[in-house]
Amino acid sequence: MKRHHLLFASCTALALALLVPVAARGQEFSVGAYGSVDYEALRTVNADGTKKTDNGFSIPTLDIFMRGAAGNWSFLSEVLFDIDEANEIVVDLDRLQLTYEFGDALKITAGRFHTSLGYYNTAFPQGGAVYLLPIDRPEVVDQHDNASIVPTSTVGLNFHGRLPFAQQRFSYDVDVTNGRGIQADDLPNGGDANNAKMLNLRLRYELNGIILGGNALVDWIPPRLGQLDPTLDQPDTLREQIFGAHIAYVEHPWHVIGEGYLIQHIGPAQTQRTVAGIAEFGYTLGMATPYARYEFARFPTDRDVFWAPTHQQERGNYNAVSAGVKLIPNENFAIKIELEWNRGQTDTEYRAATQVAFGF
């Protein structure tokens, strides 16, 4: 009983604290909720000619987004209720970051945040389907099923700001973090397996709404031994290098995003390279935005030992084209209808989907 009273008192204190007028404390705090309900029909034609058809409803993600600020300090937290590979709802702390602003030229963020790669990964929340133009994030930066090709999240420090010349049109991000774990779905949240830090630099130039940028990343991935399947062992430390470039113009009524990556895994005996990219276009007419997206990936001819335990390379090289329309009846809801053709080396997928997304 005493424990229940303590819990009740704690919750009451928290509620009263949140009800204190924001102006009186000189602070800001907000809570947002984002999610969607989807329906998808998928027809898969395998390389051997066999076919399979599935359809069903899903609740891909519920995103609870909290933000607070006081003076030069701010924090951001993003908690995802997601569906894992076993079709169970799991909780994932996607972001937890603290930021101190020295000025426009330097802001320092510490915690778990989205890696400063390309445009898509830092422009859109993982669970913010209402903000996306298509139904899903591109595969290269989609962390669902741990299948993203680049490391979408990381834990450590980020230094960012605008350079004090050329009318502050140049901006930068520098990430110094734990980097990858022993495989693509292993994010070191509570330490660094090999003590070697991931270093990433992103530079951008912005003019009249056009964003041009590039990045260079290097990380050292520790060996992976003792797998149940010995063919999944990775006996050597790998050096991962990621080079990327992106362009974006997202100003009403236009939506144009393009980005590409070269991912290299360098070991003592060989270097394995993966190339991936996207191009996305949309144009708003009233409450409707027709759109189209192209995605591709080219993997090494031999199996990349780093991708082996996860899903990245299981379908081999792929090309995907999707097109649809997004309807925005009001600022809190979006309705999308989409068709997709996705051809890999092992199968071809034909998908029809619709989504009702919300954000408050």
Contact status, residue 156 vs residue 117, Cβ threshold 8 Å:
no
- Which value, to the nearest 10 degrees, does the dihedral of the CA atoms of residues 257, 156, 28, 81 take? 70
3-class state of residue 44 by DSSP: strand
pLDDT tens for the chain, residues 1 to 360: 433 433 333 343 334 334 444 443 468 999 999 999 999 999 999 999 999 999 999 998 899 999 999 999 999 999 999 887 778 888 989 999 999 999 999 999 999 999 999 999 999 888 889 999 999 999 999 876 566 899 999 999 999 999 988 888 999 999 999 988 888 888 888 888 888 899 999 999 999 999 999 999 999 999 988 777 777 888 889 999 999 999 999 999 999 999 999 999 999 988 999 999 999 999 999 999 999 999 999 999 988 888 888 888 889 999 999 999 999 999 999 999 999 999 999 999 999 999 999 999
Contact status, residue 94 vs residue 153, Cβ threshold 8 Å:
yes
Contact status, residue 141 vs residue 117, Cβ threshold 8 Å:
yes
DSSP per-residue string spanning 166-235:
GGGTEEEEEEEE----SSTT---SS--SSSPPEEEEEEEEEETTEEEEEEEEEEEEPPB---SSGGG-B-
pTM: 0.88
DSSP annotation of 159:
E
- Rg (the chain; Cα; Å): 22
DSSP per-residue string spanning 307-324:
TTTSSTTTT-SEEEEEEE
Q: Quick one: tokens of 62? A: 């519920």
Residue 94: burial class (beta carbons within 10 Å; 0-12, 13-18, 19+) = buried
Contact status, residue 179 vs residue 194, Cβ threshold 8 Å:
no
Contact status, residue 273 vs residue 243, Cβ threshold 8 Å:
no
**How many Å apart are CA 326 and CA 255, to the nearest integer?**
12
